[in-house]
Structure 1
C-alpha cells in the first residue's frame, strides 16, 4: 500500500462546561480579558469519573461508528497525549481493550500539542509498511489535571477533550497523486533548546510528582507563528500545491491571535481556517482532531476537500500534514 485514507472521525467532551465568568469568580480575571487575549469563551473540564482514557474511548467509538466498520478490524492504535491515565502502561492499551481489538499494535505518543500530528504521520508510515491495515489515531487530554488554578496566565487557556480518526491502508494518496484521498505530505520538527518556554515542572524521574504546566506566553507566541508558517510552507512545497489549492486549515487551537497571525503570514483567508478555540480552549493533542470532527459533522469539510493540519507544542515540537478527504 502507498497511503492511508480517512474512513471516519469522532470526538468527545467532558460533561462540565467552565465559562470565563465561572473562572472570574475564582481568580483575578474577566471574560473581556480572556477573550481579548485568547479568543476563548469557555472550556470543558473532566469530572472525577472522566479520564483521558474514557474520553479517548468515547471519541474512538464515535469515529468507528462514523467509519461504519467493526472495531475488531482495527490493528493499530496510536494515542497522542501528555496526560496519560498512568505512567505506564500506555493509555492506548486501555482504549484497545475497551474496544475489543486486543492483539494488534497500541502505544502512546508524547509530543504535547503536536502529538496528533506526530501520531498521524506515524500511523501513515506504519500502514505504508504493512504493519497494519486499519489505524485508530487519537488525541486525548485532561490538561485540567496539570494546571495551576491560581496562575491566571495559564489556567484560562486550557480544556479537556478528545478527537479520533480511522485510517485505512490504501493505494491512493501517494506522492504525485494529489487527487486521490489520503495523506499527501507530512513534516515534523523538534527543538529541545526551547524546553523552558513551555513545560511541566514535575515527573516521575525528577520530582516524583505530576507537576504543573508552566509557560512563557510571549516567547511561545513568537516561535509558534514563525515555526508554523515555515512547516506549512514545507508541506505545500512537498505536495506540489499552492496555498490557493487548500480548502481548509485545521490548526492547533491554542490562541485565536496565533491562528490569525499564522494565516496572515501565509496568505490564507480566515474563512478557510477552522476555529473552535472559543468553545473548547486549548485541548493540546486533542485540539486538531476535535476541531476536524466538528467541521466534518457540521458540513464544512466534505469528501474531496484538501485539508491542512498543523500544530506546535512543548518541546518545542511542531508539524503539519496535508490530507485529501
Structure 2
C-alpha cells in the first residue's frame, strides 16, 4: 500500500504586519468591530518586492529543511493560488527555478480558498500512481492585491502568506500507518455571485477586485464544511471521536466555532490562526498546519482533518495520520 506522507511543513509571511488599529486609520472600521465579527486582530501585507512566488519559495525552503531533504529530491510541485505572479507561466515554475530544481513537474491549481485541498488531492493521486516520488504542495497568496480598500466589509478580512508541505510516497504496511487516509472535493458553480473577483483576462482584461456577500457565504460554509469533514472521515473509516486536530481554512472565527459545534468537536481541537493571519485564502490551511506542528500541538501519529471552502463554491477535506 502506497501512502502520501507529510514529511515536512513550512510557512512564510510578509514582513509588514498590520493591526486592526492601524487599518482603522485608513478604513472606516475599528478593532472592536473586526474582532467581534471575525476574530481577526492582525494580518500580513506584502510589500511590492514580496510576491506569491517569493513567499511560496520561502515556505518551500522551510518545508524542505523540516523534511531534511534537498530541493533536487522533489519531482513534483503543485502550487495553489488565486493570485499568481503572472497570468502565465505558472508560479510553480518560478518556485522550481528559485529552488534550483533542474527538472520536475510544476503547475498551479486555482480553487481559491480550497486550493490547497485540491492541490493535496492532485499530488496524492500522482504519488500513489507512481508518477512522482516527492512533492512540494504549496498554498500561497498575495490577496491584498485583489482587495477594494474602500469596501470596509471585505478589506479587513484578508492577508498575505504562504504555507508548504513535503509529501513523500511511502510503503505502508497496514491501515494504521502514516499518510493521507482519505480526501473528498466538491464544487458548485451556481454560487459564483456570492464570492468572486470582478475581473479577468478574458472578460475585462483587468485583475479586478474581490466581492463577497458575507452572510450567504457563512451559511453555506458551515453546512458544507461539516458535511465534507464527515464524508472524508467516513471514507477513512473514522469518526469525529478519532480526530486529534482539525486544521481548517482560517476565514472567520465564527465559522470555525460553528463548524466544530456541528460536528460535536471541542473548540480546543481546532487549530486557529485567523487572529494573527486573517484569511490568506489557499495559504491558510498550510499556514495553520505549520504553526501547530512547530509549536508541538500536532505530533507524529495524530489524526488530523484539513478542510476549506472558497469561491466557486469549492470545498473539500482530507484526513491525514501525521
User: Partner of 1:59: helix, strand, or coil?
Assistant: helix
Greater CA deviation, 178-187 or 307-316? Answer: 178-187
Is the counterpart of residue 305 in structure 1 residue 309 in structure 2?
Answer: no
| Map of 2:77 onto structure 1 | 77
Contact in 2 for aligned 1:27/1:152 (Cα 8 Å)? yes
- Measured in 1, the distance between the counterparts of 2:32 and 2:226 equals 29
Mapped partners of 1:42, 1:73: distance in 2 = 36
Q: Quick one: which of 205, 208, 220 aligns to 1:208?
A: 205
Q: What's the CA shift for 1:102?
A: 2.7
Alignment of 1:106-255 (within 5 A): 106-172=106-172, 177-255=174-252
Identify the residue that residue 314 of structure 2 maps to in structure 1. 317
SS for the counterpart of 1:155 is: coil
What is the rounded CA distance, in whole Å, between the counterparts of 2:39 and 2:148 in structure 1?
A: 21
- Give the whole-Å Cα distance in 2 for the aligned partners of 1:230 and 1:209: 36
**1:113 offset after TM fit, Å?**
0.1
TM-score by length of 2: 0.99
- Give, in angstroms, the shift of residue 179 of structure 1: 1.6
1:199-253 deviation per Cα after TM superposition (whole angstroms, max 9, x unaligned): 0000000000000000000000000000001101101111111211100000000
| TM-superposed deviation, 1:10 | 0.2
Structure 2 partner of 1:39: 39
Determine whether 1:65 maps to 2:81. no
- Which segment is superposed worse, 66-75 or 1-10? 1-10
Matched, 1:274 2:251: no
Quote the offset at 1:271 in angstroms.
0.2
Q: Counterparts of 2:131 and 2:138 in 1: how far apart (Å)?
A: 18
Let me know the Cα RMSD of the aligned residues.
0.8
Question: Once the 2 structures are TM-superposed, how far is the Cα of residue 313 of structure 1 from its aligned partner?
Answer: 0.1
Across the two proteins, how many residue pairs are aligned to each other? 322
- 1:178 shift after superposition: 3.9
Is the 2:23–2:156 Cα contact (8 Å) retained in structure 1? yes
Q: Runs (4+) of structure 1 moved beyond 4 Å?
A: none
Give the equivalent residue in structure 2 for 1:265: 262
CA contact (8 A) 2:230 2:239 kept: no
Instruction: Tell me the SS of whatever aligns to 2:202.
Output: coil
**Does 1:30 pair with 2:30?**
yes
Q: Which runs of no fewer than 5 residues in structure 2 stay unpaired?
A: none
Deviations 1:51-97 (A, max 9, x none): 00000000000000000001101000000000000000000000001
Counterpart of 1:19?
A: 19
Give structure 1 stretches of 5+ with no counterpart: none
CA distance in 2 between partners of 1:307 and 1:237 (Å):
14
